Chains A and B, each alone.
Chain A
């Protein structure tokens, strides 16, 4: 399978706990994006990387959220001190930065904060 992969697919955590999600992009894609989708809404942009550089962060990304892409390959998204409002589907996407513009999405990680 050469698509975008995400791990875990589902995560249930108690309020106040920290969680970390992983995204593996399509291998030749140097751009990687994180989005969040709540029920009945379209995905909302959180942040994106070009290689290992984090180029843009949404104001949705509070101080409790941090994303990394240390070697320009996989990325992690960490949420500290989770709140019930963090319950959502977290989507990762990747794209080439030149000559192709469409983003390809992974299956998402569904987070439930109890």
Chain B
């Protein structure tokens, strides 16, 4: 069975602090994809990043960085120099492959609520 665990329910930081959101996943697929989505107070899920299981390179995009480690089945997300606008619920998600290699359903974790205080 596929499962995503986000053990941190809520995190509160002060602006400019760095913060890491943890994600641990379980899957029996050999090919799979991992995702992070942001859900701001407005409610619409915003895609942040996709990673496939064969690419363990860490990725950096501006203040965001992701650390994928297959050995520990983790895909952690770090925000450097956090800002108030980063306040949101962040979801980690997992998908297997089917029907020509594209993803089918996403399995989401329960999310981490990040509150960045000014």
Q: Which residues of A contact B (CB under 8 A)?
A: 31, 33, 35, 40-45, 48, 50, 55-56, 58, 89, 91, 93, 95-98, 100-108
A41 cross-chain contacts in B, Cβ below 8 A: 110-111
B37 to chain A, nearest CB (A): 8
Q: In the assembly, what is the distance between CA of A97 and CA of B104, in Å?
A: 9
Instruction: Give 27 CB contacts A-B under 8 Å.
Output: A33-B106, A40-B111, A41-B111, A42-B4, A42-B108, A42-B110, A42-B111, A43-B91, A45-B107, A48-B104, A55-B104, A89-B43, A95-B103, A98-B100, A100-B102, A101-B95, A101-B103, A102-B35, A103-B103, A104-B47, A105-B37, A105-B46, A106-B44, A107-B42, A107-B43, A107-B44, A108-B43
CB atoms of B47 and A102 under 8 A apart: yes
Q: Which 10 A-B pairs have the closest CB atoms?
A: A42-B108, A45-B105, A105-B45, A101-B103, A97-B102, A107-B44, A102-B47, A102-B50, A43-B108, A42-B91
B45 to chain A, nearest CB (A): 4
CB atoms of B106 and A50 under 8 A apart: no
Given contacts A42-B91, A98-B102, contact A105 B44 (CB under 8 A): yes
Name the interface size band of chain B: 20 to 34
B residues 39-57 near A (Cβ < 8 Å) are 42-47, 50
Given contacts A42-B111, A102-B50, contact A56 B105 (CB under 8 A): yes
